[in-house]
Amino acid sequence: MAIAVDHLAATIVTIAAPFAPYLVEGGKKFAEKAGESAWEQVQKIWACLTSPRDQNTDPSVQLQMLSANPDSAGYRAVLTEALVKHLTKYPELAPELTRLVAQHPRVQEIVAEGGTIEDVVQKLSGDGRQMIKSMKGGVIKNAHQES
């Protein structure tokens, strides 16, 4: 079953956002911190995405915006929209990107930014990481992680 373009784009942004500053800068130092395999996987995803050199749909500008603030929901939305446009124009990329995304370690994040999150459980099976974080006065109550 084919994955919807908007879901694939949102998944790619979720995976790539923490790496955005390093994708823009070339990021060798990051590989030392985050682990070589995760970094290599994100590089493969980005290389596949940008293989058709198209000035009209190239998402590099939106990635640069996100690199300034990888936690920004607004910048993530802008990059997601750009990827949807790009993947709609180049649907042949979807199968390879779907395969690469499936190989990426799973990441679950709960982020409260200026609001309140209550009664949440993260359940993760297999490899990956879970994170709970509060920013800008956000409050998290009764959150649990299970693996």
**Helix, strand, coil percentages, rounded to 5, for the chain:** 55, 20, 25
pLDDT digits (tens, 9 = 90+) for 54-96: 778 888 888 888 888 888 889 989 989 998 999 899 999 889 8
Q: Residue 27 belongs to what H/E stretch?
A: none
Flag whether the pTM goes above 0.85: no
- For the beta carbon of residue 33, count every other beta carbon within 10 angstroms: 9
Residue found by looking up tokens 């994708």 in the block: 23
pLDDT digits (tens, 9 = 90+) for 3-22: 688 888 888 777 777 777 77
Mean pLDDT of the chain: 78
Report whether 127 contacts 105 (CB < 8 A): yes
